[in-house]
A and B are shown apart, each in its own frame.
Chain A
């Protein structure tokens, strides 16, 4: 037990370790943040194409989206990361962080699009019909009626997806990037503290704290969005 406390003290008083930990954390957050942005933007576009009215113009875009989401959701993230690193971006000197961001962003987009698509489709068709019968355009109906109702279903699931991306970025240590996960392993290794337990639990606390904060924020947003369900 004494040893354990000593190790905690060692980790938090050695500037080099703290530095490594924070750098790792910063990289994790950086990759996750930009990947989530790409995932949201690309995922929204895919979802809109997916839910658009069928027509001959939309046939090809819909097919491409279908193939894309099927491939992404049907293969392991770690393999997609390897393919991005060692096949698609096997270019010397290309910034590794950007490759990682793209890999996670492209992956997340497939899941985000599913979340948004099912959110939109869960809105009762009668809501759209009400708008149509009043002479509103499909665009107005989407903006004023469908989207605000879909958001309520989308936000909680999107929160889960954001959390998943943050945790999943830990596999970038497999391609040698120095993220939070890698930092814990490095600090615990033989040349450094020579004990994994404290750095790894500390890394776990970092991840947990971020997940907790995001969960809290999502809950608050959900509560605000629920206002129209309230009976007044």
Chain B
């Protein structure tokens, strides 16, 4: 049987009176690239953010491998569950190099020289080695997001969560970020991606999941999903976005 990285059972999330997630069951196998689609406000971000507990789930269970994620063990789990944010969230008071090395060094996963060496090789790979000593304020959005992606890679995560990684970018830098995500995928990374870039979704996904009003209402391979959608809701959605 293939190895499951995440198992999610009956996940619910309520904000005040607003029931945002209404019972999500989901499994993620190693090597999968799941694209999460759905209309605005359907709960895609909330779903992703419950996985690494940026939001506290109201109820339900999330297993990482076979360990139930709890408040007690989440900090350790997050080392293996990377996240890339819509607004990059590079740490403003640290240089690019410090952004990359802070967590692995503080968490004693690597020695400082080792972390810097790895950071340099990743920076060289994305052609931003000359920005190592720059502060985030001096970078463009596309540069920031590519650095945010390699910052997540510094931890050697088992799974990467992307929440609309290109939504805050100008059209020109979107391409750079998408091709970096493609490279990460080609290297075998397991990932979950929320995106509104349909072309990209179709190319990168090994499976598409559609969320509407806090529930997964349809899922399938990209060709099934885009060419033979089953539910009227998805048909309507695709008509609007394609």
Interface residues of A, Cβ cutoff 8 Å to B:
124, 126-127, 129-137, 140, 144-145, 148-149, 227-232
Contacts and interface: CB of A to CB of B under 8 A. Distances in A.
The 4 closest A-B pairs by CB, nearest first: A134-B103, A130-B89, A231-B138, A135-B79
B82 to A, nearest CB: 7
Contacts of A129: 54, 85, 89
A105 to B, nearest CB: 30
A134 B54 CA distance: 11
A126 B89 contact: yes
A169 B133 CA distance: 46
Interface centre among B54, B106, B133 (most CB of A within 10 A): B106
Interface in B80-124: 82-83, 85, 87, 89-95, 102-103, 106-107
A127 B85 contact: no
Nearest to A149: B93
B207 interface: no
A133 B138 contact: no
A229 B136 CA distance: 8
Contacts of A134: 78-79, 102-103, 151-152, 155
Interface of B: 52, 54, 75-79, 82-83, 85, 87, 89-95, 102-103, 106-107, 133-135, 137-138, 151-152, 155
Contacts, number: 79
A131 B91 contact: yes
A149 B92 contact: yes
B75 A135 contact: yes
27 contacts: A126-B85, A126-B89, A127-B89, A127-B91, A127-B92, A129-B85, A130-B89, A132-B54, A133-B52, A133-B82, A133-B89, A134-B103, A134-B152, A135-B78, A135-B103, A135-B107, A136-B75, A144-B91, A145-B91, A145-B93, A148-B93, A149-B93, A227-B135, A231-B137, A231-B138, A232-B133, A232-B135
A230 B135 contact: yes
A140 B106 CA distance: 8
B49 to A, nearest CB: 9
Nearest to B53: A132
A124 B103 CA distance: 19
